[in-house]
Structure 1
Amino acid sequence: MDLWTVHLGRVPYSEALALQQRVRAARQADTIPDTLLTLEHDPVYTRGRRSDPAELPFPEAYYAERGIEVVDVDRGGKVTYHGPGQLVAYPIVRVGDVMGFVEQLETLMVDALAEEGIAARGRAHEGRDFTGVWVGDRKIGSIGLHISHGVTMHGLSINVDGDLDPFTWIVACGLGDVAMTSVLEQTGRAGRLDCVRKRVAHGLAGALDHRQRLVTPRALERALSATPSTVG
């Protein structure tokens, strides 16, 4: 089976969310195979279903002044930040064992970081608040999913060489004492996003036992045009 991998570049969050919904509808209808969207976002805080208002301690105007949008989403998890220099990957795939899939995502993220010389670890087994990938006691990668009719949406992010300051203006991931890190902070090397992106895509294809097929955004759009727009 194929895993379609579509690299979108830098995309506003609302635009990427709408595309995810269309891709999931197509996957639910079996008009496309499992699909991975990779991208970067404009600066945005997203609040998951378990978020508490206290996780954003400043007024939204404070964040708006800094060019950061605030969006409520239906994924699992709490508040997090996305921005340039961070890899975001949205696997829109059929799954049976959700926690098993989360652990697969952690493993492929750990493997991708190991190729950068970073010793990271997954912590989903320690409880859902610790889901993601960590370097020591610092978090470098996050996971948040939503499952509908057996198909995932949302996904993972890895801090590569973006600005980490926006994480300090929130209670990141609902953990008051969490500190974030990045590939750049750990290795001193910038410009590694494309390499990490390719390793994550390759790792997901392997985890799903799929053959990776690179698909352009235009080709994806042509496939989606044949699918009803209903989302679930």
Structure 2
Amino acid sequence: MQTFTQHRDADTPDEIWLVEHPPVFTQGLNGQAEHIQQSLRAIPLVHTDRGGQITYHAPGQLIAYLLIDLKRRKLGVRQLVTLLEQACIQLLAEFQLPAYARADAPGIYLEGKKIASLGLKIKRQSSYHGLALNVNMDLTPFEWITPCGLQAMQMTQLAQYQADISVEQVQPRLLRQILQLLENSPIMVDS
């Protein structure tokens, strides 16, 4: 993402990368050591240049990295955050789940629990990093940290409301929501 963003020019098409990661904790630029509540065991901690605190990624979590030229799209950072939140909220509405965003803490929430985390980096008027939606994963490692720096925040996932759901089933739906909100602009997709 960093290399792509560093070398892109005004004509480089925007891209969306849809991925799953092996188990890893990532700590953003604002990360604080006290948000690691106990030993992370054998799961690595990676310091990253995105905004936000510490979070957890693993198989069963759908990550959407948006490599977007904000200037060309006439988008501000807050607009992009809202777009990502709305894409996820609309996706969850397809499952009759009333998810919502909070003005005080980026991400997506459902019944008071966090179902998706959001962290971006803006460089050269372009974004990278993005959204992590918990689909069907082991949530236990979230208990070893203060997710996103939010004290007493419980995490949830789509599988708790929709049995046997998989990332493969959710991936095209999330992509469709993001593309619709970006007005179906020409974007390369790598999955």
* TM-score above 0.5, yes or no: yes
The amino acid of 1:154's aligned partner reads: H
- How well do the aligned residues superpose, as a CA RMSD in angstroms? 1.7
Does the residue aligned with 1:155 lie in a helix, a strand or coil?
Answer: strand
Length, aligned pairs only: 187
Does the residue aligned with 1:32 lie in a helix, a strand or coil?
Answer: coil
The amino acid of 1:80's aligned partner reads: T
- For the pair 1:101 / 2:98, whether they are aligned, the reply is no
Tell me the distance in 2 between the aligned counterparts of 1:216 and 1:153. Answer: 14
- Structure with the higher helix share, 1 or 2: 1
Q: In the alignment, which residue of structure 2 is the partner of 1:51? A: 31
Which among 110, 124, 141 is matched to residue 135 of structure 1? 110
**Cα displacement (A) at 1:215:** 5.0
Tell me the distance in 2 between the aligned counterparts of 1:86 and 1:172. Answer: 15
Tell me the distance in 1 between the aligned counterparts of 2:188 and 2:31. Answer: 35
Q: TM-score, normalised by structure 2?
A: 0.91
- For the pair 1:118 / 2:102, whether they are aligned, the reply is no
Tell me the distance in 2 between the aligned counterparts of 1:173 and 1:135. Answer: 16
Q: In the alignment, which residue of structure 1 is the partner of 2:176? A: 202
Once the two structures are superposed, what CA deviation does each residue of 1:49-103 show, in whole Å capped at 9, x if it has no partner? Answer: 1111001123xxx32x4x3110011111110000010001100001231101101
In our comparison, the structure showing a higher alpha carbon Rg is 1
- Any conservation in 2 of the 1:91–1:153 contact (CA below 8 Å)? yes
Percent identity over the alignment? Answer: 32
Once the two structures are superposed, what CA deviation does each residue of 1:97-134 show, in whole Å capped at 9, x if it has no partner? Answer: 110110111000001111122211111x2x2xx11000
Q: In the alignment, which residue of structure 1 is the partner of 2:4? A: 23
Q: In the alignment, which residue of structure 1 is the partner of 2:167? A: 193
Which among 18, 37, 45 is matched to residue 70 of structure 1? 45
Q: In the alignment, which residue of structure 2 is the partner of 1:175? A: 150
- Which of structure 1's runs of 4+ aligned residues deviate more than 6 A? none
Q: TM-score, normalised by structure 1?
A: 0.75
Does the residue aligned with 1:131 lie in a helix, a strand or coil?
Answer: strand
Does the residue aligned with 1:57 lie in a helix, a strand or coil?
Answer: coil
Tell me the distance in 2 between the aligned counterparts of 1:215 and 1:38. Answer: 8
Once the two structures are superposed, what CA deviation does each residue of 1:141-180 show, in whole Å capped at 9, x if it has no partner? Answer: 0100000011001100100000000100111110111000
The structure-2 alpha-carbon separation of the partners of 1:213 and 1:100, relative to structure 1 and needing over 3 Å to count, comes to closer
